[in-house]
Chains A and B, each alone.
Chain A
Amino acid sequence: EAQVTQNPRYLITVTGKKLTVTCSQNMNHEYMSWYRQDPGLGLRQIYYSMNVEVTDKGDVPEGYKVSRKEKRNFPLILESPSPNQTSLYFCASSLLGDQGEQYFGPGTRLTVT
């Protein structure tokens, strides 16, 4: 089944404790992206990647890191999480090119206390 998976689905952590949210897709998509969703703000793009070893900033990259060492994986790293990073996070992937429909993962609910 074609899908984007994220782990963990729920995470409660404390300020300053490094964490990684994994994202993996099995559709051989070149493009992968991370978003955060906050009430009243919609989805905001954090980082995106158009290919292995190629990443670029979205609108809200501060406090986040990403890496794209393999085509299928695109982990999101929070080196020192803070309470303002409490949010719902989505990973998405798509083919490059005109059609470019994004397939979204199920979301990760992160709480930083």
Chain B
Amino acid sequence: AQTVTQSQPEMSVQEAETVTLSCTYDTSESDYYLFWYKQPPSRQMILVIRQEAYKQQNATENRFSVNFQKAAKSFSLKISDSQLGDAAMYFCAYRSWASGTYKYIFGTGTRLKVLA
């Protein structure tokens, strides 16, 4: 069975600085998707970034980028130029790519605090 581990329950970053959130996963599959979701105090789940395992290039969305290390089964999220609005819970998630398998596995989350 697949697992997703976020080992940092809480992180802090100074406004305008860069922070990296860690995520490791375990799977025997070769093709899959990885996601980072943001959950602000409003509780709404917002997709931040997505990575397909078959793509070697790391995904980037504006100030958000990932470091995807497939062999190491690592999928970290880097937030550059941190803003107060980035303060939230961040969840790493895994989804199998195999046809007919649409289970999602989420990590336990990392709470990010942004200090002014």
Q: Does B50 make an interface contact (CB < 8 A)?
A: yes
CB-CB nearest in chain A for B46: A104
Q: Does B78 make an interface contact (CB < 8 A)?
A: no
Q: How far, in angstroms, from A48 to B103 measured CA to CA in the complex? A: 8
Residues of A within 8 A of B45 (CB): 90, 92, 102, 104
A20-28, A36-44, A66-74, A75-83: which one contacts chain B? Answer: A36-44
Q: Does B91 make an interface contact (CB < 8 A)?
A: yes
How many contacts A-B (CB < 8 Å)?
53
Residues of A within 8 A of B47 (CB): 101-102
Q: Which residues of B contact A (CB under 8 A)?
A: 6, 9, 33, 43-45, 47, 50, 52, 91, 93, 95, 100, 102-109
Q: Which residues of A contact B (CB under 8 A)?
A: 31, 33, 35, 40-45, 48, 50, 56, 58-59, 88, 90, 92, 96, 98, 100-102, 104, 106-107
Considering the complex of A and B, which 4 residue pairs feature the smallest CB-CB distances, nearest first?
A104-B45, A43-B106, A42-B108, A42-B106
